[in-house]
């Protein structure tokens, strides 16, 4: 089969090579002759190829022998190096043991130094002393890197430098120092200002608290400052040059200050109450305005009434004067008519004295109820958040709880002062009404004494009964 395939291939090659001559063959004998000549040429070509292949085969064999030799050499070198590595490991282990024995307690010292350098670096990153003394962390980084390498030990100079940095940190922690440097203000602008460092605890400038940012090595003003009493102490410290001044110090180095600046102010508390909180505040302001107006009005009326008590001439700019004018206008009326006229006048004065006091009392009652409404609304929002998101994140429930608590507080804050204000205003108005009733009773008694003969038992008790009736009408 193989020979047949070779013969067919040779025939095809011969046909392609002698295509031109075959096309010119005039008979079968000529064609056969041409094919025979092509076969002979093909055989010569095949022998030439076989000779070339045999020559290259010898060359490949030589290359293979060279590679085998190199492989053996590499295996021998690998074996030699492996033996050397094992010997070196044994020698290194022996030398390491000898080094550890010679170092003794000195190795523990270096371990402690490495630990102290790491702790000191963490301390310097958060210390406000670094705002004044920069570049301390670079030495500690290099020192810790050298200590972490087993091939290099710390020198006496490095150990003394670490000791010096620790001692300087402790010394500066007990001093109040002023220095000038660039700070970043709350609005993002930079300014060269005088900074006061209070030990290793706080930084203050222009009455504002500052913070040290280790990542950028900058000093920035706190965007949100603590309450006024802390800022006042910072202001006093900034303006005082000598002596001892009180200052709100944060011994934690910023943790307590961070909590203080997060505490919501009054406006934020009201905002936490939501719409119900705004309604309560509006009611409180409305009641406060009414109370102020009533205090001023009753104070003016009381002053005029007291001035009228000291005068025998009636003036119509106050309730008592208008009551006394009734007597002047009804000089010839009998006692009963005068009593009715005075009662009518007092009844007209009472609404002027007690006007809008009912609103204050209503506000004192309604404010806690609205606060309770806000509490219920806030708890509903809280339970809805729990239903939707579960109890995994307390911040989702904080809004509803804040509304529930703040509205209750606002309701009580409004109601309690309104109760006292309502009581005080009622007492003042009642005292003026009592003066009117007393003076009216005195006028009736005086008229009765002048019109009834002495010793008459019929009208002896009339002034007292009239005063009682007027008192009941005022109530």
What would the mean pLDDT of 326-334 be, rounded to a whole number? 82
Q: Between 156-172 and 136-148, two packed helices, what is the crossing angle to 10 degrees?
A: 140
The band of 360, judged by pLDDT with boundaries at 50, 70 and 90, is very high
Question: Which one, of 141, 119, 409, lies nearest residue 264 by Cα?
Answer: 409
Q: Are both 37 and 127 inside the same structural domain?
A: no
SS (H, E, C) 165-207: HHHHHHHHCCCEEEEEEEEECCCCCEEEEEEEEECCCEEEECC
**Token pair recorded at residue 444:** 């009736």
**292 with 248, same domain?**
no
Pick from 339, 332, 295: nearest CA to 437: 339
User: Residue with structure tokens 């003066």?
Assistant: 435
Residue 455 belongs to some domain of the structure: yes
pLDDT value for 103: 65
213 Rama sector, left if φ>0, alpha if ψ -120 to 50, beta otherwise: beta
Q: Are residues 153 and 71 in the same domain?
A: no
414 lies in which domain range? 272-474
89 within some domain: no
Q: How far apart are CA 322 and CA 343, in angstroms?
A: 12
pLDDT digit string, tens, across residues 199-250: 888 888 888 888 888 888 888 888 888 877 788 888 888 888 777 888 888 8
Residue 93 included in any domain: no
Does residue 182 or residue 257 have the better pLDDT?
A: 182
pLDDT digits 0-9 by tens, 43-58: 778 788 877 777 777 7
Confidence of residue 299 (pLDDT cuts 50, 70, 90): very high
Contact yes or no for 108/78 (Cβ under 8 A):
no
Check whether 15 has a pLDDT greater than 60.
no
Are 138 and 116 spatial neighbours (Cβ–Cβ below 8 Å)?
no
Q: What is the mean pLDDT of residues 96-118?
A: 74
Residue 1 binned pLDDT confidence (cut-offs 50, 70, 90): very low
Q: Which range is least confidently modeled, 65-74, 148-157, 195-204, 273-282?
A: 148-157
What pLDDT shows up at residue 290? Answer: 94
User: What does the pLDDT read at residue 421?
Assistant: 94
Domain-located, residue 65: yes
Note the pLDDT tens digit of each residue in 331-356.
878 888 888 888 888 898 888 888 88
Asked, for residue 119, whether it belongs to a domain, the answer is yes
Rounded CA gap, 300 and 386, in Å?
57
Query: DSSP state, 245?
Result: -
pLDDT of residue 431: 92
Is the pLDDT at 67 greater than 60? The verdict is yes
Residue 286 and residue 249 share a domain: no
pLDDT of residue 58: 74
Phi, psi of 317 (to 5 degrees): -90, 10
d(CA 199, CA 237): 13
Q: Where are the alpha helices (DSSP H) in 104-155?
A: 105-126, 136-148
Verify that 394 and 454 share a domain, yes or no: yes
Is 394 within the bounds of a domain? Answer: yes
* 150, 215: one domain: yes
Q: Is the pLDDT of residue 135 over 90?
A: no
Q: Is 230 helix (H, G, I), strand (E, B) or coil?
A: helix
Determine the Cα–Cα distance for residues 179 and 219; give it in Å rounded to an integer. 12
Q: Which of 150-164, 235-249, 304-318 has the lowest mean pLDDT?
A: 150-164
Lowest mean pLDDT among 108-117, 162-171, 408-417: 108-117
Distance, in Å, from the CA atom of 408 to the CA atom of 414, rounded to the nearest integer, reads: 10
pLDDT (0 to 100) of residue 107: 67
Q: What is the value of pTM for the model shown?
A: 0.54
What confidence category does residue 392 fall into, taking pLDDT thresholds of 50, 70 and 90?
Answer: low
* Same-domain pairing of 432 and 313: yes
Q: Looking at the domain assignment, is residue 189 inside a domain?
A: yes
> Considering its fold, how many domains does the chain have in total?
3
Among 42-56, 138-152, 185-199, the minimum mean pLDDT is found in: 138-152
The answer on 276 and 245 residing in a single domain is no
- Same domain for 469 and 344: yes
Q: Residue 473: which of 349, 336, 387 has the closest Cα?
A: 349
Of 218, 208, 213, which Cα lies nearest the Cα of 248?
Answer: 208
Q: Are residues 128 and 53 in the same domain?
A: no
Q: Tokens at residue 357, please?
A: 């006091």
- Say if 92 falls within a structural domain: no
Q: Are residues 361 and 469 in the same domain?
A: yes
Judgement on whether residues 249 and 392 belong to the same structural domain of the protein: no
Which one is predicted more confidently, 150 or 277? 277
């Amino acid at each position: 089969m193989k020979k047949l395939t070779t013969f067919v291939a040779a025939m095809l090659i011969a046909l392609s090579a002698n295509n031109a001559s075959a096309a010119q063959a005039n008979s079968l004998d000529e064609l056969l002759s041409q094919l025979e000549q092509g076969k002979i040429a093909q055989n010569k070509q095949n022998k030439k190829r076989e000779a070339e292949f045999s020559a290259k085969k010898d060359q490949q064999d030589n290359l293979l022998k060279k590679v085998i030799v190199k492989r053996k050499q590499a295996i021998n070198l690998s074996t030699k190096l492996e033996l050397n590595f094992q010997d070196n490991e044994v020698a290194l282990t022996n030398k390491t043991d000898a080094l550890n024995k010679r170092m003794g307690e000195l190795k523990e010292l270096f371990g402690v130094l490495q630990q102290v350098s790491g702790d000191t670096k963490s301390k310097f990153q958060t210390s406000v002393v670094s705002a004044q003394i920069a570049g301390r962390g670079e030495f500690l980084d290099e020192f810790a890197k050298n200590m972490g390498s087993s091939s290099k030990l710390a020198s006496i100079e490095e150990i003394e430098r670490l000791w010096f940095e620790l001692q300087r940190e402790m010394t500066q922690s007990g001093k109040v120092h002023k220095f000038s440097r660039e700070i970043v203000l709350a609005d993002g602008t930079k300014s060269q200002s005088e900074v006061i460092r209070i030990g290793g605890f706080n930084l203050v400038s222009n009455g504002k608290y500052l913070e040290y940012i280790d990542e950028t090595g900058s000093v920035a003003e706190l965007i949100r400052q603590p309450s006024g009493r802390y800022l006042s102490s910072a202001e006093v410290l900034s303006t005082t040059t000598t002596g001892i001044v009180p200052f709100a110090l944060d011994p934690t180095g910023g943790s307590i200050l961070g909590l203080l600046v997060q505490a919501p102010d009054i406006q934020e508390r009201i905002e936490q109450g939501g719409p119900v909180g705004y309604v309560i505040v509006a009611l409180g302001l409305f009641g406060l305005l009414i109370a102020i107006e009533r205090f001023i009005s009753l104070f003016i009326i009381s002053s005029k009434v007291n001035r009228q008590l000291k005068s025998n001439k009636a003036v119509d700019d106050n309730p008592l004067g208008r009551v006394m004018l009734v007597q002047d206008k009804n000089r010839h009326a009998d006692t009963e008519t005068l009593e009715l006229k005075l009662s009518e006048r007092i009844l007209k004065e009472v609404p002027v004295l007690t006007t809008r006091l009912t609103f204050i009392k209503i506000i004192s009652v309604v404010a806690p109820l609205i606060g309770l409404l806000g509490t219920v609304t806030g708890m509903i929002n809280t339970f809805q958040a729990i239903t939707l998101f579960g109890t995994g994140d307390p911040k989702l429930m904080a809004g509803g709880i804040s509304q529930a608590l703040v509205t209750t507080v606002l309701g009580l804050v409004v109601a309690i002062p309104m109760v006292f204000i309502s009581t005080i205003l009622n007492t003042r108005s009642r005292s003026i009404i009592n003066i009117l009733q007393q003076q009216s009773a005195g006028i009736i008694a005086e008229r009765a004494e002048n019109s009834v003969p002495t010793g008459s038992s019929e009208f002896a008790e009339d002034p007292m009964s009239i005063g009682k009736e007027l008192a009941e009408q005022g109530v």
